[in-house]
Amino acid sequence: MKLISHRTIQWAVIAFLFIGLAGCQKHLKENEEEILSSSNHGHGNDEDARNYSSKVIREWMNVQLRIMQSAPPGVGLFNSRYIGYNGVAVYEAIVPGMQGYQSLAGQLNGLGALPHIQNDKKYHWPSAANTALATMNRSFYTTASPYFKGLIDSLENAFNTQFQAEVGMQTFTRSSNFGKAIAQAIFAWSTTDGSAGPFPAYVPPVGPGLWQPTPPAFAPAVGPYYGTTRTFVLGSLNGSVPVPPSPYSADPTSAYYLREKEVYDISQTLTPQQTAQALYYRDNPGFQGGGGAYLSLLYQLLQIERPRLDEAAYDFALTGIGLADAIIGCWKAKYDPIFNDERPIRYIRTELGHPAWNPLFATPPHPDVPSGHSTGAGAMEIVFNKLFGKHYQFTNHAYDTLGMPPQVYANFGDMAKQIGDSRVFAGIHTRYACIVGRQQGNKIASNIIKTLKFKGHQGHNDHWEDDDDD
């Protein structure tokens, strides 16, 4: 669909939104990207959303990223959910104006009928998108600081002022009300996914090779029941459970011993480049748990490509759904009795006899297999291949403002491999955990792409276009 070569660019967003995200690459036609930014001749449900800029979606992504960056540790799992639900909400808020596209109501797990437009009335799709995303972020980030709550209000009001002047109050109000109704329905659906429990206290199993809290903080397990969360797509986890690991052993010739020893050996010969790569994907200060890291990647890609409103909504929805289900699947496997593997630090300190050994940074408090970052990367590899092409070259500038060197990818498979390798370089995951995590993410995203039908022949909604991978 899209193919570009890597090009150096400068970050450019409005000043009050610029904190914590690095400069992105600039599209060669940036001076033209806001043509028809929010209005065109004639407005209504017969006006294709493709006629509008995606600026409203991109700016809301930026706000969500900033809120996630400010959040305390331990909320990364829920961020992946929020990204998924936000993507669905903005897609459903404008899909009546997306020629050839179809609602996901009835396709997504547990999502029934949604509010609908009045076919004889006019709608302004950027207004619907703006209110939908403002409502979703306000609903999810209830514990955000007053500053960030004010940022949500400020962005919504800024777009509202612009849109009211462009389309007239009746069309604006009708469109905004529709976006709000969609968001309220999607948020209500989100509250039924089971992620909030209640759950019993988690007691880690005891035995050789099983996960236990790790030093220095010996923090309790994060998300032991998160794998029970309802997936966005029924059957998305089918066939994704990794191959069980080799059995625990302290025998120096065993596969288990060699798997753990590799982490130690690498830690003794780290190059500056490997160290920088490991620290980059620590995502701290950053996006706590990986979910935000992938929204950041999508945001940067949309800043480069400047898609139209309809395409950006589709990109957001597919990315969010793929990421959310990948993290659910990963956490389901992590705490499955088949896995629940110890982290390298315990084995290296006890069985390998290096009691003072430490990874580059503190080990996250959950089991080794599969690697969460690797599972997310594997899912995004498949999703981004579909959205941007399998040979897309890209540079990740997420942490430029922190003075961290950008990461260069030859393609999205290279991205997924680099992210997996980074966890081994950091000393917090075995290579096995990263390889099977990437494979798991690949499978979950492929299941989603093969199941969901975003597109249909115009006027023949019961005949779907093939929406499989390129």
> Measured at the alpha carbon of residue 221, what is the angle toward residues 218 and 223, in degrees to the nearest 5?
155
Single-letter amino acid code for the residue at 154:
S
Residue 469: the pLDDT is 34
235-251 b/e (C-beta count within 10 Å ≥ 16 → b): ebbeebbbeebeebbee
Q: Give the span between the Cα atoms of 368 and 335, in whole angstroms.
A: 10
| pLDDT tens by residue, 103-136 | 999 999 999 999 999 988 999 999 999 999 999 9
Residue 209 pairs in a beta bridge with none
| pLDDT tens by residue, 382-427 | 999 999 999 999 999 988 888 889 999 999 999 999 999 999 999 9
DSSP 8-state symbol, 289 = T
To the nearest 10 degrees (0 to 180), the angle between helices 431-451 and 309-334 is: 130
Q: Using an 8 Å Cβ cutoff, are 428 and 363 in contact?
A: yes
Q: Give the span between the Cα atoms of 195 and 204, in whole angstroms.
A: 20
Residue 75: the pLDDT is 58
Give the tokens for residue 270.
């780290």
Residue 291: the pLDDT is 83
To the nearest 10 degrees (0 to 180), the angle between helices 372-388 and 291-305 is: 20
Cβ burial, residue 266 (10 Å; 0-12/13-18/19+): middle
Residues present in the chain in total: 470
Residue 70: the pLDDT is 82
Single-letter amino acid code for the residue at 419:
I
Closest C-alpha to 323, from 380, 369, 281: 380
Residue 69: the pLDDT is 84
Residue 52: the pLDDT is 97
Residues of the chain where predicted confidence (pLDDT) is lower than 70: 1-46, 72-76, 284-290, 457-470
Q: What predicted TM-score, i.e. pTM, was given to this entire model?
A: 0.88
Q: Using an 8 Å Cβ cutoff, are 70 and 144 in contact?
A: yes
Q: Give the span between the Cα atoms of 373 and 177, in whole angstroms.
A: 38
Residue 351: the pLDDT is 96
Closest C-alpha to 156, from 71, 59, 266: 59
Residue 46: the pLDDT is 55
Q: Which domains does the chain have, with CATH numbers?
A: 43-196+207-464 (1.10.606.20)
